[in-house]
Amino acid sequence: MRLVIARCSVEYEGRLTARLPEATRLIMVKADGTLAIHSDGNASKPLNWMVAPNVLEQQEDRWVVTNSKRERLTIWLHEIYEDVTHELGEEPGLDKDGVEAHLQRLLAEKPWVLEEGLELIRREYPTDIGPVDMLCADPDGGTVAVEVKRRGNIDGVTQLVRYLERLNLDSRLAPVRGIFAAEEIAPQARTYAEANGIKAIEVDYAGLKETESNHLRLF
C-alpha cells in the first residue's frame, strides 16, 4: 500500500463533475490499484475514490486516474510532505462478533427467509476487495449478493455497493443485485440502499435462533 500526504486539489469528471479545493490530504493507493483520498475530519469515508481496475498516470505535478466507465480523477500535487509504501501481506479477513457471525450462518442455512426461492451458492464469496457474506441464486436464475450485519448502517451498504461493482464485472454472474440484511437498519442506510437498487431487510435473529433450537431438539 502506498500512502502519500500532500497539499493537493482534485477534479472529478464522470457521472457528475466535482472539485476539491487545495488542502492537505491523504492519498491511499492499494495493491489492486484502488485509490482513495481522505481528509483528517471525514471519519472513514473517503472524499473521493476510484476502485480497481483503473489506470494511474503519474506526472510531475499531477496524477490522472481513469477507468473503463470514462471516469477521470485528476489530483494536482502542489506539495508532497510524505510518500511511503508498505507491504501489508495477506489479509486474514474480518473476525465478526458472535451474533453477526451466527446470524450469517443461520441465513446461509435458510436464505429463503430473505426472499422466497433464494438458494445459497456460497458463503464468503471472494472478490478482489474482500468476500461478500453470501452469494445466492433466485428462482429466475439471477444472482444475489447478500451482506449481513448486526446493525445496518450506511458504511455496510457502501461495502455492498462496492462488492456489487466487482461482481458485475464477472460475465458468469452478472447481473448481480443486492440484499442488505441486519437485525436493525438505520433509516439513512435503508434510503441509501434503496437508492442503489438494494433490498434492505430486517431479520428476526431471535426467531431464527429459536427455529434452530427446535430443529436440534427434534433430531
Q: How far is CA 67 from CA 26, 132, 173, 215, in A?
A: 21, 23, 21, 50
The closest of 125, 162, 155 to 143, measured between CA atoms, is 125
Residue 215 pLDDT level (bands cut at 50, 70, 90): very low
User: How far is the C-alpha of 77 from the C-alpha of 127, rounded, in Å?
Assistant: 32
In order of their start, the domains of the chain are 2-85 (2.70.180.20), 98-218 (3.40.1350.10)
How does DSSP assign 86-133, residue by residue?
A: ------------HHHHHHHHHHHH-GGGTSTT-EEEEEEE--BTB-EE
Confidence of residue 216 (pLDDT cuts 50, 70, 90): very low
Which residue has better confidence, 99 or 32?
32
> Cα 106 from chain centroid?
22
- How many CB atoms lie under 10 A from the CB of residue 214? 10
pLDDT of residue 94: 56
Instruction: Kindly state the average pLDDT of the residues 74-89.
Output: 93
Higher-pLDDT residue of 66, 52: 66
Confidence of residue 218 (pLDDT cuts 50, 70, 90): very low
Q: Distance between CA atoms of 50 and 201, rounded to whole angstroms? A: 29
